[in-house]
Amino acid sequence: MQKKIIAEINKEIEAQKLYVKQLRRNILQDAIEGKLTADWRKEHPVQKGNPDYDAEALFELIQKERKVDKKRKALPPILDVEKPFELPIGWKWVRLGEISHNIESGKSILCKEAVPCGDEVGIVKTGVCSFGYFKEDESKTCLSDKDWHDEYVIHVGDFFNRTRKYLRISRFLCYRRYGVIQ
């Protein structure tokens, strides 16, 4: 009798795991389609020309501020057949290469496992991405000036991605100064 009860419980646990997985997918789908922010957008309508509220204006600002790179090929426009769903008003489909200028893998720099003090340079630990925000007080300290380059600095608005190779889990984050949008 106990084995039967345990088997039923295990069966229910597996079913619940599938429901949780599907719920996550549904929430993500609702998020990328703008369904989770529909009420907010009703209260905060698109302000044409304001990059904080208008994706087209933000895109134009990014394009204007972007360094001109003659080697870089222009990306083709996104065709309607490539768009899996209609975006809410004020949102825009873009290719990542249209809003980014430098995509590269991280660096492995010799560091001291301590938060930097004074004029020491902090290095982001990959674990800071685990919980949806950037924990500046859990960074490491760069030991050598020769390992440091200005292009390694994370600026407000920068995106970074942490991938766990073996688990195939990825965290994609945008640095905001006092936290990270995940």
pLDDT (tens digit per residue) in 56-70: 888 888 777 666 555
Q: Which residue's structure tokens are 């922010």?
A: 37
pLDDT of 182 > 50? The answer is no
Residues 6+ apart with CB under 8 A from 13: none
- Number of domains the chain is built from: 1
User: In this predicted structure, what is the pLDDT of residue 58?
Assistant: 82
Residues 6+ apart with CB under 8 A from 137: 115
pLDDT digits (tens, 9 = 90+) for 87-109: 888 888 988 888 776 666 666 67
In a domain, 147, yes or no: yes
Tell me the residue range of the domain where 156 lies. Answer: 105-182
Where do runs of H (alpha helix) occur along the chain? 2-32, 38-43, 55-65, 96-99
In a domain, 149, yes or no: yes
Q: Which residue's structure tokens are 């000036």?
A: 145
In a domain, 153, yes or no: yes
In a domain, 154, yes or no: yes
pTM over 0.85: no
In a domain, 170, yes or no: yes
pLDDT digits (tens, 9 = 90+) for 3-43: 999 999 999 999 999 999 999 999 989 998 889 988 988 88
Cα–Cα distance between 89 and 68 in angstroms, integer?
A: 29
Q: Which residue's structure tokens are 């020491």?
A: 120
In a domain, 40, yes or no: no
In a domain, 145, yes or no: yes
In a domain, 127, yes or no: yes
Percent with pLDDT over 70 in the chain: 65
